[in-house]
Amino acid sequence: MKASTSTSSAAPAHNAPLPPTTSSAGRSSRIAPHSHIKGLGLTPEGFASNDTAGFIGQTNAREACGVVVDLIKSRKFSGRALLLVGAPGTGKTALALAVSHELGAKVPFCPMVGSEVYSTEVKKTEVLAEAFRRAIGLRIKETKEVYEGEVTELTPTEAENPLSGYGKTVSHVIVGLKTVKGTKQLRLDPTIYEAILKEKIVVGDVVYIEHNTGARVGRSDAYAASYDLESETYVPLPKGEVHKRKELVQDVTLGDLDAANARPQGGQDIMSVMGSLVKSGRTEVTEKLRQEVNKIVKGYVDQGVAEVVPGVVFIDEVHMLDIECFTYLNALLETPMAPTVIFATNRGNALVRGTTDIISAHGIPVDLLDRCMIVKTDAYTREQIGKVVQMRANIEGLKLGPEVVDRLAGEGEKSSLRYALQLLTPASILARLAGRTQIEVEDISEMDELFLDAKTSASMIGGDST
């Protein structure tokens, strides 16, 4: 079992390994531009008077979202959804993320874009159902027998490999562990050695080991170096005996459990090994399987082993969904285990996709619109754009010369906040090419010569053709 907080760790009661989550990389890269957003930044009374938590301006929308957060927390938001509308780059995605932050640190946030439902392999409704499952977390508490301590010895013992004539293989590994109270030498299975190599465990690390897995907790603080900046976490020598009962907390999502169980569990016989080689990654998660998983989860909850943590599904560009998806969403919203749903769109009146004649606000059918609480995001002033630019520059570790913020704010006012933020990275490259560590106004000017903002480029083409 890896770090106890990781969402991708294996489910304890199922031995099925979790599939590599291809979507999680996409998820984090979609969240990365918002890393400065820490929450809605409201006062206890619910006012957004100051620019805390990384959120600048947008006071009305923030306060409205604050009310929604209160509704969610008091369980009065079920069957409803939050709809964020506003021009591109006005912070809709940022708001959705802030709402999920406000709901709690370990609340799952599952962002998707409307057009993701159009896959040739998976049904539209299936994509939605999966997103909803991924947004429901399960916090599993378990007391396990573990060995914990600082590694004092790590010796793999080799033996002849029966499979390759002259090769050798690790037959077992000797691990010495030390705690405040005592020391112990363990003789462990070779599979644990793989885990040890994978976690890059060396003598002096504090680890815990259970069954056939080992996880690194950190480096023992006896080895703490005196660097100011270091990625290593130092932990004290564990207390108590080496062998002990330890409470482990794991966060998984229902989506993870579904996927883990949809995989062929793999028998030991040769046919099933061959079969799993040929079969490609994705096995279908059926409704029946979901019901099974639900049943197991309910059992855990009843026993007090697990706790359900409803998260947030964020569907960006919701106008891209079609009528089938919308009706299905209505049904999903009413399921007992539904997460909080947040939609975002930058369209006004639009044709509902999949129909030929229904024109509706934001391209959403009326019956779904009726369930939505709509919050509008406002355009930014020059000063606000400047503040966001400065904040992003700090986060990305870029130094800005005098008047650069003002210049970028001007660019942002002409086009959009996103455009202004987008200019930061190329400007830093130009600055570096010029041998500077700091971005100067001339870098921004040079970029104006190299690149165009959308309005200018469109007007130039338009000017040519007329």
Q: In the complex, which residues of this chain contact Mg ion (CB under 5 A)? A: 93, 316
**Residue 54 is which amino acid?**
G
Q: CB-wise, 149 or 386, nearer to ligand ATP?
A: 386
Per-residue binding letters, 4-43, with ligand ATP (x by CB under 6 A): -----------------------------xx--x------
Instruction: State which of positions 360-389 bind ligand ATP (CB under 6 A).
Output: 388
CB 237 within 8 Å of CB 220: yes
Q: Does 346 bind ligand ATP (CB under 6 A)?
A: yes
Reduce the DSSP state of residue 335 to 3 states and report it: coil
Query: CA–CA separation, 36 vs 239, rounded Å?
Result: 37
Query: What stretches of 201-334 show up as alpha helix (H) in DSSP?
Result: 254-262, 270-278, 287-303, 323-333
Least gap, CB of 380 to Mg ion (angstroms): 15
Indicate which single residue of 57, 108, 310, 412 sits in contact with ligand ATP (rule: CB under 6 A).
57
Indicate which single residue of 7, 9, 58, 428 sits in contact with ligand ATP (rule: CB under 6 A).
58
In degrees and rounded to multiples of 5, residue 79 shows phi and psi of: 80, 0
Distance of CA 220 to the CA centre of its chain: 29
Q: Does 55 bind ligand ATP (CB under 6 A)?
A: yes
Inter-CA distances, 1 with 4, 180, 199, 210, 453, Å: 7, 24, 11, 8, 49
Q: Which residue is nearest to Mg ion (CB)?
A: 93
Q: CB-wise, 103 or 375, nearer to ligand ATP?
A: 375
Q: Which residue is nearest to ligand ATP (CB)?
A: 91
**Interface segment toward ligand ATP; rule CB under 6 A; list 128-136, 163-171, 203-211, 417-425:** 417-425
DSSP secondary structure, 341-364, as one string: EEEEE---EEEPBT-SS-EEETT-
Least gap, CB of 28 to Mg ion (angstroms): 16
Query: What stretches of 169-269 show up as alpha helix (H) in DSSP?
Result: 190-198, 254-262
Query: CA–CA separation, 219 vs 192, rounded Å?
Result: 19
Nearest to 368 by CA among 337, 322, 336, 311: 322
346 binds, among Mg ion, ligand ATP, none (CB under 5 to 8 A by kind): ligand ATP
72 binds, among ligand ATP, Mg ion, none (CB under 5 to 8 A by kind): none
Least gap, CB of 353 to ligand ATP (angstroms): 18
Q: CB-wise, 58 or 179, nearer to ligand ATP?
A: 58
Which residues contact ligand ATP (rule: CB under 6 A)? 33-34, 37, 54-58, 86, 88-94, 316, 344, 346, 388, 417-418, 421
